[in-house]
Amino acid sequence: MKTILVVEDDPDTSIFLSNLLTSNGFCPICAATLAEGLKKVVDACPDLIIINAMLPGEAGIRLYHNLRTNQSLCRIPVIMLSTLDSSTFYRCPGAKRSPGGKPIPEPEAYLQKPPEADELLTVVNRLCSAT
């Protein structure tokens, strides 16, 4: 059973994602903040991470940067969720560069919120089968 970390501050979206993943044979672990997400990614070593890019205080982007700049965590595939479409999101300051100015690679997938269940499951299955 693949473990998926869901970092989402909206309780309704978190419950939706958790139920969807559970009913499709995955083991979701939920976190609502940057700190909680970082702790759970280290403790659980998930197969995939789903991050709400728009967590308060740019925490979703900071979490993604932390993952991509950490040697032991950078290989975990990430799905970013956002109410913004991908072209708008990638034009946001900080979305593609770390605070030190280094380029950050794009996540393996980007889905607009609210995600369609079938589309999300297709992406989750593709990324989990690749790991």
Q: For position 65, what pLDDT does the model report? A: 87
- Is the pTM value of this prediction over 0.75? yes
Give which of 64, 87, 88, 89 is closest to 77, Cα–Cα. Answer: 64
Alpha helices in the chain (DSSP H): 11-23, 34-44, 59-68, 86-91, 117-130
Answer for the pair 41, 5: CB distance below 8 angstroms, yes or no.
Answer: yes
Residues of the chain whose pLDDT is less than 70? 89-101, 131
Residue-wise pLDDT for 77-111, tens only, equals: 999 998 877 777 666 655 555 666 677 788 999 99
Write out the DSSP string of 99-126.
TTS-B-PPPSEEEESSPPHHHHHHHHHH
Residues 11 and 73: their CA atoms lie apart, in Å, by 26
Measured CA distances, 85 to 32, 40, 53, 80 (Å): 22, 28, 11, 11
Answer for the pair 41, 33: CB distance below 8 angstroms, yes or no.
Answer: no
Q: For position 83, what pLDDT does the model report? A: 85
Q: For position 11, what pLDDT does the model report? A: 96
Which domains are present in the chain? 3-130 (3.40.50.2300)
